[in-house]
Amino acid sequence: MRAEHRRAGNDDARRPFRLSWRSGSRTRRTSHTPDYFVRRRDGTGVVLDVRPDDRIEPEDAVKFEVTAAACARVGWGFEGVGVLDPVLAANLRWLSGYRHPSVVSRGLR
């Protein structure tokens, strides 16, 4: 919601890819699918994982670290996005109402 309001990117994708790896001597593969990929106006890419901080288990924290390292290797950023401030979230929801076709067709955009 925040990226849309800022118009941070020209393109975005939900669940853009899946990483899969083996760590140490484990035979079982671990995988992670990030939540979003955003291509910013300047051409840089950023991968986003959205989860409240209090819901990140230790195993998930490792997945986020591996994802951040993989993103860095290809020149992308990585951001963990927690819970938006309630006032900011309410304001962004209100502003997003002005993206409705009835408002846009009146030239108020």
Pair 82, 56: CB distance under 8 Å: no
Residue 105 confidence (pLDDT) above 60: no
Taking the C-alpha atoms of residue 80 and residue 46, their distance in angstroms, rounded to an integer, is 10
E-assigned strand segments in 4-108:
9-14, 19-21, 30-32, 36-40, 45-50, 77-81
Residues 51-86 have pLDDT tens digits of 998 999 999 999 999 999 999 999 999 999 888 888
Chain centroid to CA 19: 15
Chain centroid to CA 109: 25
How confident is residue 99, by pLDDT bands cut at 50, 70 and 90?
low
The count of other CB atoms within 10 Å of the CB of residue 50 is 13
